[in-house]
Amino acid sequence: MKKRILEMLQKSSRPLSGPELSRELEVSRVAVWKHIDQLRQSGHEIESTAGGYRLVTVPDTPFPWLFGPRSALIHYYPELDSTMNRATELARAGCPSHTVVVADRQLQGRGRMQRQWDSGEGGLYFSIVVRPALPPRECPIINLAVALDLVATLARCCGITARVKWPNDLLVDGRKIAGILSQMEIEGDQVAFVNVGIGLNLNNEPEVADKPAVSALQLTGEKVNRAQVLADFLQRFETRMATFSRREVLRQWRERTVTLGRQVTITTLRDDCEGLAVDIDDEGGLIVELADGSRRTVFYGDCFHTL
CA nearest 62: which of 54, 52, 70? Answer: 70
Q: What is the pLDDT of residue 242?
A: 95
- Identify the pLDDT of residue 2: 87
pLDDT at 111 (0 to 100): 52
pLDDT tens column, 96-126: 999 999 999 988 755 554 555 567 789 999 9
The pLDDT-based confidence of 7 (bands split at 50, 70, 90) is: confident
Question: What pLDDT, on a 0 to 100 scale, did the predictor assign at position 100?
Answer: 98
pLDDT at 241: 96
pTM: 0.86
Indicate whether 66 pLDDT > 90: no
pLDDT at residue 150, as a whole number = 98
Q: At residue 37, what is the residue type?
A: D
Residues 125-136 pLDDT 10s: 999 999 999 999
Question: Higher confidence at residue 265 or residue 112?
Answer: 265
The pLDDT score that the predictor gives to residue 73 is 97
Mean pLDDT of the chain: 92
pLDDT-based confidence at residue 10 (cuts at 50, 70, 90): confident
Contacts of 13 (CB under 8 A, 6+ apart): none
Residue ranges of domains in the chain, CATH in brackets: 2-57 (1.10.10.10), 64-256 (3.30.930.10), 263-305 (2.30.30.100)
- Reference 199, options 102, 54, 68, 64; nearest CA is 102
In this prediction, residues 158-171 reach a mean pLDDT of 96
What is the pLDDT at residue 113?
46
Rg (CA), the chain: 22
Residue 89 scores a pLDDT above 60? yes
Which residues make up each annotated binding site for biotin?
A: 106, 110-112, 176
Give every CB contact of residue 148 below 8 A, 6+ residues apart in sequence: 164, 240, 249, 252, 253, 256
Contact 117, 260 (CB under 8 A): no
Q: What are phi and psi of 109, to 5 degrees?
A: -60, 140
Annotated binding residues: 106, 110-112, 176
What percent of the chain stands above pLDDT 70?
Answer: 95
Average of per-residue pLDDT across 82-89: 96
The per-residue pLDDT for range 176-218, each reduced to its tens digit, is: 999 999 999 999 889 999 999 999 999 998 876 567 899 999 9
